[in-house]
Amino acid sequence: MALNTTIVDLARKITAAAEVIDGFTTENNFSLSFDADSADPATLHGENAQAYQQARITAVEAATEMNALLSGNNAVFLDLCTYYHAASALRAVLTFNLASSIPLTGSTTYEAIAQKTDTGNLDKKTIQRLFAILTSYHIFKQPSPGHIAHTRLSKAMLTNPSLSAMVQFGFEEVYGFSYHLVEALKKWGPSEEPNETGFNASTGSEATFYEYIDEKRNQGKSSSFTAMLEETAEYEFWDMDVVVRGLEWEGVDLLVDVAGSVGHVSIELAKRYEHLQFIVQDYDTVIRRGEDALPAELKDRIKFEAKDIFEKQETIPGKKVVYFLRAILHNWSDKYARRILQAIVPAMKPEDRIVINEQIVSDGTSLLTERMARFSDMTMWAGFNGQERTAEQFEELVRSVPGLEIVQISPGLGLGIVEICSDGVL
């Protein structure tokens, strides 16, 4: 009886949420479908958009829970251990440029795709088999026998560079080192070293992941990781609003963007706060690219400095400084995250702050939010021996660094804020 009650409760949640969703889409003239020209339901805006988004999340989570409750034991595990077939088919579609052979409107035939010169000389039968499994996930559709067309999902993958970059990174990098996490644990145990990971077990390399990527770049080879970073700088998960809302910037003079890559964050903040000055620190090869791409109107406010993340910071007199680390510490185990923070401590004046802008995992959050956080944690673990951290783990990390204490921890929808000051200032 309890199980039936749970199912009924979930069904009521879905129904109530669906009514809110239907009202919103009707009022704002949206249509939810898999049609290629249909909007992404996660990005719809309009009157009552906040209520709509909450209802959408509620419906998805309740439907996910109901699916888990009603699926047989075998089906749950069969899904887990066979998803890679669909992923393998999608990788083939991308690798052989099959998706780009389909018009954004209308359809084409498998025969026509096979005749393209850039599709790896795959025959009609092979192409049809690859698409067949993907259509069962609403990625592409078969409007009539022998024809294939885009859905909004496949069209998004083709036309959204950020999404495409993330998919490629998943296939080319993450799949390999996540699969080999077991081999890494067998060989090195629960290591904190960045070159004793699933990535290392997968490639046989003794370098860290970042050293490996730099070497590929130096050899003139492309990297799906580099492309992913460049394309996802504006991705909604990395929204700057939490940084803007979470801190008092008016009294800050200088932001030191630690391991700030080519300066995405500094450029965005410079547009919002005209009084702020910036120093972007990273490896020499990275900052040279940042300097080349920096808008001319910001060159007098944003400076680049070649600096290793573990190198001691120097005190900057006469300015209130924020040492900013955005999505940095999750790449490192506690052993190395501690060293990164320790390198900043000697430079800290009483008014200075360290601001960590990272995902803050909450055990009490919704099912889907926690699942995504755990996916990210597994990626950090398998690739770098890093981790996503809870608020409690951030507190423990900061306590382990003499001279620092936490001012505030503010979780966000994507990335949150951990603000740190010198010990004894508060």
What is the SS3 assignment for 298?
Answer: helix
How many other C-beta atoms lie within 10 A of the C-beta of residue 339? 13
Can you count the helices (H) and strands (E) in the chain? 18, 11
Specify the amino acid at residue 425: V
What is the SS3 assignment for 232?
Answer: coil
Q: Which residues 6+ apart lie within 8 Å of 367 measured at CB?
A: 61, 64, 65
How many other C-beta atoms lie within 10 A of the C-beta of residue 154? 26
Instruction: Establish whether 330 is a catalytic residue.
Output: yes
Catalytic residue among 150, 180, 264, 330: 330
Tokens of 143: 């409007």
Phi/psi at 315 (nearest 5 deg)?
-60, 135
Distances (CA, A) of 172 to 88, 148, 226, 365: 11, 26, 12, 30
What is the SS3 assignment for 306?
Answer: strand
Per the document, the length of the chain is: 426
- Residues forming the active site: 330
